[in-house]
Amino acid sequence: MRRNKSRTARFARVRDRKRIGILTGGGDCPGLNAAIRAIAKTAILNYNMEVIGIKDGFLGLIENKFLPISYENVSGILALGGTFLGASNKANPFRHPDYKGSFKDVSNRAIENYHAMKLDALICIGGDGTLNIAYKLHKKGVKLIGVPKTIDNDLRQTEATIGFDSALITATQAIDKLHTTAQSHHRVMVIEVMGRYAGWLALYSGLAGGGDIILLPEIPYDIKKVCDVVLKRNQHGKRFSIVVVSEGSRQKDGAMVVRKMIKDSTDPVRLGGIGNKIADDIEKITGLETRVTVLGHLQRGGEPSPFDRILATRFGVESCELAANGDFGKVVVLKSNQIKTVDLKKAVGDIKRVSLKDPVIKAAMAVGTSFGI
Same domain, 280 and 307: no
Q: Show the domain range for 334.
A: 2-162+302-347
Q: Are residues 16 and 60 in the same domain?
A: yes
C-alpha span between 123 and 206 (Å, rounded):
34
Residue 371 in domain: no
206 in Cβ contact with 175 (< 8 Å): yes
**338 sits in which H/E element:** strand 338-343
Query: Does residue 247 share a domain with residue 322?
Result: no
> Does some domain include residue 176?
yes
The helix/strand/coil state of 291 is strand
Same domain as 340, residue 236: no
Query: Is 102 part of any domain?
Result: yes
Strands 290-294 and 96-97 come out as unpaired
295 and 336, same structural domain?
no
Same domain, 219 and 198: yes
Give yes or no: 152 in active site.
yes
Give the chain's largest Cα–Cα span.
91
Same domain, 98 and 15: yes
Q: Look up the CATH number of the domain holding residue 334.
A: 3.40.50.450
In order along its 373 residues, the chain shows pLDDT tens digits of: 344 444 334 334 355 789 999 999 998 999 999 999 999 999 999 999 999 999 999 999 999 999 999 999 999 999 999 999 998 888 999 999 887 778 899 999 999 999 999 999 999 999 999 999 999 999 999 999 999 999 999 999 999 999 999 999 999 999 999 999 998 889 999 999 999 999 999 999 999 999 999 999 999 999 999 999 999 999 998 999 999 999 999 999 888 788 766 666 666 677 778 999 999 999 999 999 999 999 999 999 999 999 999 999 999 999 999 999 999 999 999 999 999 999 999 999 889 999 999 999 999 999 999 999 9
How many domains in the chain?
2
Report the alpha-carbon distance of residue 281 to residue 291 in Å, rounded.
11
Shared domain for 310 and 206, answered yes or no, is: no
In a domain, 372, yes or no: no
The verdict on 151 and 19 lying in the same domain is yes
The active-site residue, picked from 28, 152, 212, 308, is: 152
CA angle 187, 195, 221 (to 5 degrees): 55
What size, in residues, is the chain?
A: 373
CATH number at residue 220: 3.40.50.460
Element (H, E) at 314: helix 306-324
Predicted TM-score (pTM) of this structure: 0.91
Q: Are residues 289 and 307 in the same domain?
A: no
